[in-house]
Amino acid sequence: MSVLARVFEEAGLTTVAFALVREHAERVQPPRALWVPFYFGYTMGKPDDPDFQHQVLAAALATLDAEAGPVLADYPEDAGPIGLPQASEVSASTNGDTVKPLDAADEITALRGYYERWQEQRGRTAVGVTGIPQRRFRGIIRFLEAYAERDDADMDERPADVSVPQFVRYCADDLKAFCYEARMAQRPNDTEADIHTWFWGETAVGSLIDSITQRLNSTGDAKLQATAYGLSR
Amino acid sequence: MPRLSVLSEVQRQMLQFFPCMEADGAPWSPLSKPLNQATAAIVTTAGLHLRDDKPFNRDHPGGESTYRVIPSDSDAANIVQSHFSIGFDRTAIYRDINITFPMDRVRELAERGVIGSVAPNHYSFMGALRDCTVVAEQTGPEVAQRLKAEGVDLVLLTPT
């Protein structure tokens, strides 16, 4: 991010960058940056809060007043979560005691009503990286179940220029978005940490993704392990 | 990001020793006109793209250093994310795309007269790259030229 700011400024454009890691901005030195003390994924501080987001933007635009740089200003107010549980932390805390649905495909079907409600309420969905309609997600589940067992599993819908491991990642991203959005419609007052804990600790889909991570990590193949790192950890 | 001091040792180490490009001093191109006459674009490293565009793909040589064009009048419903990292909380962007891509806020800034106008296009890159050479030397300068050709004065850069 800060590197692009330097490239653009060198080309004659005026830039204002947001920095999530202050220490990185100190090293890269973008011309003008506002460090925001928010967790990764929360650059503007609070989702669904236009007023707060405008305050953050105004603080960033204030760096334009400087006559010389680099300028690295600090946003003064904290907001949002400061960290979230990963899959391994959730399974360690539940010790595998949680009862989960037996079949991830049935779980998807059971969540569909909530997912569709979310989509209706919000007018958008983050599902869509695979290009496979959500009503055919049972097929994705069957593919991932096979991939959790063996390398040669594949799916007809995979584009020719996308490798199987990369397509597995797209499938996992779509399933996560589907489940998270369904859960946010089902339990609107849950915190982000509640939703992560539910997904990794209580769902069959979370367990399925984690089982693929474990298989890929055990192969010793660096490329597959890189895929695993993007599924769960 | 919360101060490194509040993070776990693993996260702190990863961030502290991340191989950033380093510099002393910065290039400097101040606005050549008042802010309320300037045309602004967003360039994000949140790995966003239009729903019918190609997702970011590491299989392609240099695929992580490519970029996507997002017309500024796009409907948020047509934008999805294929970011490689799972080191950020996606619940925020599931709720509100403006959390990392403040397209509605920038439009409002133009309506309020804070900025002059919104550029025809925003741009999106992949973030958290351990090697930024291609972005710094090829795709970044290419997008800079596109932005200039589109009359952009001010670029807001947003990570995730």
Domain hosting residue A36, numbered range: 2-74
A74, A97, A119 — which closes off a domain? Answer: A74
Q: Do A48 and B96 touch (CB under 8 A)?
A: yes
Chain B from 23 to 52: CB within 8 A of any A CB:
23-32, 35, 38, 43, 45, 51
Which residues are B154's β-sheet partners?
A14, B40
pLDDT at position A43, please? 97
Residue-level pLDDT at A228: 94
Nearest to A179 by CA among A109, A91, A86: A109
Residue of A215, A225, A229, A130 lying closest to A178 (CA atoms): A130
CB atoms within 10 A of CB B32: 10
B39 has a pLDDT exceeding 70:
yes
pLDDT in the model for residue A188? 96
The secondary structure of residue A219, as a DSSP letter, is T
Q: What pLDDT score was predicted for residue A101?
A: 72
Q: Residue A55: pLDDT above 70?
A: yes
Domain count, chain A: 2
> Do A167 and A91 belong together in one domain?
yes
Asked whether the beta carbons of A182 and A121 are under 8 A apart, the reply is: no
Closest residue in A to B127 (Cα–Cα)? A1
Mean local confidence (pLDDT), A51-66: 98
Q: How far is CA A123 from CA B94, B96, B97, in A?
A: 11, 11, 12
B14 touches chain A (CB under 8 A): no
* Residues linked to residue B158 through DSSP beta bridges, in sequence order: B44
The per-residue pLDDT for range A149-175, each reduced to its tens digit, is 999 999 999 999 999 999 999 999 999
Report which DSSP code applies to A151: T
Residues A176 and A129 in one domain: yes
- Count: domains in chain B: 1
Q: Does A143 lie in the same domain as A93?
A: yes
Residue pLDDT, tens place only, B119-153: 999 999 998 888 889 999 999 999 999 999 999 99
- Please identify, among A22, A49, A74, the residue that sits at the C-terminal boundary of a domain: A74
A80 within a domain of the structure (yes/no) = no
Residue among A11, A17, A126 whose CB faces B93 most closely? A126
A92, A52, A106: which is closest to A75 by C-alpha? A52
Residue B39 counted as domain residue: yes
Q: What is the pLDDT averaged over residues A194-206?
A: 95
Contacts of A73 in chain B (CB under 8 A): none
Rounded to whole angstroms, the Cα distance separating B82 from B63 reads 12
- Average pLDDT estimate for A71-97: 81
As a whole number, mean pLDDT of residues B46-55 equals 97
Whether residue A213 contacts residue A228, with contact meaning beta carbons closer than 8 Å, is answered with: yes
- Asked if the Cβ–Cβ distance from A4 to B157 is below 8 Å, we say yes
Could you tell me the pLDDT band of residue A97, with boundaries at 50, 70 and 90?
low
A66 and A125 share a domain?
no
Contact B158 A1 (CB under 8 A): yes
Cα angle A72, A75, A77; round to 5: 160
Q: Do residues A61 and A107 share a domain?
A: no
B15 lies in some domain: no
pLDDT at A1: 67
A178 and A126 in one domain?
A: yes
pLDDT, average across residues A202-208: 96
Q: B96 lies in a domain?
A: yes
Query: How many angstroms separate the CA atoms of A104 and A100, rounded?
Result: 9
Helix ranges restricted to H, B5-102: 9-16, 91-95
What's the confidence (pLDDT) of residue B2?
62
Where is the domain boundary, A24, A53, A74? A74
Report the complex ipTM: 0.93
| Closest by Cβ to A69, choosing from B28, B99, B109 | B28
Mean pLDDT on A209-226: 95
Distance from CA of B30 to the nearest CA of A (A): 6
Question: Is A97 in the same domain as A183?
Answer: yes
A81 assigned to some structural domain: no
Residue B60: is its pLDDT beyond 90? Answer: no
Contact A205, A171 (CB under 8 A): no
pLDDT at B85: 87
B47: tokens are 């790995």
Distance from the first to the final alpha carbon of chain B: 10
Assess if residue A175 is contained within a domain.
Answer: yes
A51 and A155 inside one domain: no
Nearest in space to A232 (alpha carbons), one of A64, A65, A91 = A91
In a domain, B2, yes or no: no
Query: Which tens digits make up the pLDDT trace of B7-29?
Result: 777 777 777 777 777 778 899 99
| A62 neighbors A12 (Cβ within 8 angstroms) | no
pLDDT for B1 equals: 61
Answer yes or no: do A230 and B85 touch at CB < 8 A.
yes
| Partner residue facing B105 (CB), from A54, A68, A177 | A54
Residues B115, B141: Cα–Cα separation, whole Å: 24
Radius of gyration from C-alpha coordinates of chain A: 21
CA distance A157 to A159: 6
For the segment B74-104, what is each residue's pLDDT rounded down to a tens digit?
Answer: 999 999 999 998 889 999 999 999 999 999 9
pLDDT given for residue A107 in this prediction: 96
